[in-house]
Chains A and B, each alone.
Chain A
Amino acid sequence: MKRIYMYLCLGLFAMTGCDRMEENVFDETPDERLEKTLTEYDELLHSSPNGWLLSLETGVKGGYRFWMNFNENGRVTMLSDLDYDLPTDIQTSTQPKESSYMLKGLLAPSLIFDTYNYLHMLSDPEKAVNGASANGTGLEGDFEFSLIKADNGRIYLRGNFNGCTAYLDPATPKEVECITEGSLKSVYDNLGEYLEDNKFPAITIGENKLSTKPNARKTEFAYMNEDDEIISMSVGSYMDLKSETGEKTYSDIYFFEPVEILGETFTEMIWDEAAGNYVLTSKGKEFSVIDNKVPAYPLKFGLNQTFTKLYLEVPAMEGTVPQRFLDEIYNPAANDLYTNGSKRSLAYIQCQFSENATSGLPQMELWIRYTNTKGNGYTAKWTYSYEVNEDGTITFTDRNQTGVSNERITEPYLKKIVDYFCTIEYQKYDTSNWNNSIKSNIIPHTFRMDWATNNTPGLTGDIGAFYPVEDEGLYLVGKLTAK
């Protein structure tokens, strides 16, 4: 009997287990719901009469924009801002290109651009196509996207392969009008004008000056923390077309991810027409972007610093080199060298901090490059010992020649430049062997090293200078490099 009850119980269990009357949570099956979602998205893609603007953040370079028009036969027409910085001459912003697309249920409802178009150039693993640094993974773009949600007119996408963030926003009639004339690319000219006029845009957060620079596909932030370290971060960003449609002087800039820096959170840079500057907003507070003229953080120039070299090629820095330096130092030396030194022409000056190979002591090397009438060049070199003072200024205490014969011959002609850092008077100047020369007087000079203003159109890079503390206006300016 016991066993029978056991069978009975088992039988009853089996029956309850097989009850198939469970109710569906949704009214429709998963397939029906997927089908419905895809249809809804397809209708949505066709609902914008002026097409869509796709903003996409690639893994490598940052923000890209495309204009896309979806038509009824699974075809899509595109324009793109790719040709702003493409290694080839494909006119992506003016030559519309058609390809196919498909909506398909993969792991999520997905929008797939399934034949080659401008969008695929970002993903192309061949570096020749998009200027990636190596063959293999391209700029880490995407052309197959999960449809995340549609909200307030915007469709949110996520790349299925590289996970790129992307949005589709309906284009306005005005935008399309400009886009067909190449605005996706020419909007960057506008940004270029802004950066020409505002070389070092910055905001101030509390005590800190924060460099806030909108570049073409990324916006970069940098400041110096209390340990004198430069903290920098960059975020993929894109611009709208307001500067092209005529709504604003400069386009508004949007970040793909919120930027958290110095306790604030920023998501966009909005051009304030009335104030004439960009404004960032965090927690209801506004921060105006003002041109700082020089970098927003102190210059670190010297041995083992951020910058170790300063390079001056006068013709390339016209307008930035002070006239007094040219009149009193550079030109007299250049003329003397030409007149008395067999028509040698001065090419450039370079100052670099290093360690003396034998003594290990810090030194500043002065290189002066000149060419003879045959076009052959020579770099004459002098080294200066120096001391760093408590206030951060630097004093050059002595000077020696390092070269073979050129320095010995040309030093008298280039005296204005070599004496600029530390003046040497000789009791005897031996033109056959400099080591036999006898110094009678050494006059050290002290300098403050700081950023300098870039006044040369088209000149880019970090500009710094040696400011003589006795006469700051007679500063030697140049381009700073790391090594």
Chain B
Amino acid sequence: MIMKSLKYIIGILMFAFVSCSEEEFVPNETLLGLGGDVQTSSEVDQWIYENLTKPYNIDVKYKWDQAELDKNKTLVPIKEDLVIPVMKMIKKIWIDTYVELAGTSFICQLAPKRFVLVGSPSYNSGGTYTAGEAEGGRKITIYRLNWYDESGDKDEFMDLVQNIVKTVHHEFAHIMHQTIMYPTEFKSITPEGYLSAWNNTTDAEAIKLGFISPYARSTPNEDFVEMIARIAVYGPEWWEARVAQAAEIYADPAQNVGMTYDPVEVFRLKESYVINYLKDVWGINFYDQEGEKGLVGMVQDAIKEVVNGSTDN
């Protein structure tokens, strides 16, 4: 009997304590920094909101935030007056083309949610630099944007624009296939060519093996998105020249030693996978068809317009 009542008492005591502690637990109302930094909205912020955030749910971080970046790299912010020109260019060559081909909701659904703009290149220890990086389809970081000079040397400007949008198209293509996968047969076109130490590959070696770029050798996924991004950004002429180079290598006894397959066939096969995937899964024409512009044609037109001086739309 005593035992039982004691147990009750203990039980009651425990309850009392529990309820009492809940009362005390009041969350702090003034947690600082939650909800982001409070900033005065500038003309640049307005432009970003109106043109990217509101219509496409894309945020552009151009103000310095070390937390977004590698703490072992010396980097500096982008020049404020370059933010709008750079993002106008990206919008024109990337968003606008996909919106026209697949609709606004397609971009809203798939687009990376944040662009981080950095002024300087991200130098690596060997003297090379990183031009762009992406994190899981959510964030794209673009470096060396302070080089962006619309009124500078046309060829240099063209190189830079192509380089920047290639990164964006590359990462976006990743998001597409991560959402709906391309046919797995693509992976068995050149299974032996994939190499984790791809960075020692020269351009010519890549072509010889049926890869559009050295980086395409790293994995089938990279191979697939490099095909989309490079053909779209560098254009059909560049691509056909690459295929022609592959044909030349394969026909040249001095260069074709040990080659077990025709890289031209491989290139054409990979190309057809890209064309069919975009058409069947997303309803997008890769090349122009029946008088209608495809992705490649539209990207090419947009690049030419940007480089020749007009980024207005």
Contacts and interface: CB of A to CB of B under 8 A. Distances in A.
Contacts of A14: 14, 17
Given A102-B39, A125-B120, A18 B21 contact: yes
Contact of A31 (B21, B32, B63, B78): B32
A25 interface: no
Given A15-B13, A18-B21, A20-B21, A116 B80 contact: yes
Interface string B64-82: 1110000001111111100
Contacts of A136: 74, 123, 125
A29 B30 contact: yes
A135 B63 contact: no
Interface of B: 3, 6-7, 10, 13-14, 17, 20-21, 24, 28, 30-33, 37, 39-40, 42, 62-66, 73-80, 119-121, 123, 125, 127, 129, 146
Contacts of B21: 18, 20
Contacts of A29: 28, 30
Given A73-B40, A115-B63, A31 B30 contact: yes
B37 A116 contact: no
A137 B20 CA distance: 56
Interface centre among A105, A114, A115, A124 (most CB of B within 10 A): A115
A219 interface: no
Given A32-B30, A116-B77, 15 more contacts: A7-B6, A11-B10, A14-B17, A20-B21, A74-B39, A100-B80, A102-B39, A104-B33, A115-B63, A115-B79, A116-B119, A123-B76, A125-B74, A138-B74, A161-B66
Q: Which label, helix, strand, loop or mixed, suits the secondary structure of the B interface?
A: loop
Interface string A5-24: 00110010011001010000
A125 B63 contact: no
Interface in A100-151: 100, 102, 104-105, 112-116, 120, 123-126, 134-138, 140, 143-144
Interface centre among B13, B63, B129 (most CB of A within 10 A): B63
A125 B76 contact: yes
B17 A8 contact: no
A123 B74 CA distance: 7
B119 A120 contact: yes
Contacts of B39: 74, 100, 102
A85 to B, nearest CB: 19
A99 interface: yes
Contact of B63 (A4, A32, A114, A126): A114
Interface string A208-226: 0000000000000000000
Interface residues of A, number: 42
A160 interface: yes
8 contacts: A7-B10, A35-B30, A114-B65, A116-B77, A116-B79, A124-B119, A125-B75, A143-B76
A126 B31 contact: no
A18 B20 CA distance: 10
B37 A104 contact: yes
Contacts of A112: 64
B32 A126 contact: no
A130 to B, nearest CB: 10
Contact of A11 (B14, B78, B80, B129): B14
A115 B64 contact: yes
Given A15-B17, A116-B119, A102 B74 contact: no
Nearest to A33: B32
Contact of B66 (A99, A113, A144): A144
B127 A143 contact: no
B240 to A, nearest CB: 36
Nearest to A72: B40
A102 B32 contact: no
Given A116-B78, A135-B123, A144 B31 contact: no
A409 B311 CA distance: 73
A125 B28 contact: no
Given A15-B13, A74-B40, A144-B64, A126 B77 contact: no
A112 B65 CA distance: 9
A78 B79 CA distance: 14
Contacts of A8: 6, 10
A350 B264 CA distance: 66
Nearest to B23: A20
Nearest to A116: B79
Contacts of B37: 102, 104
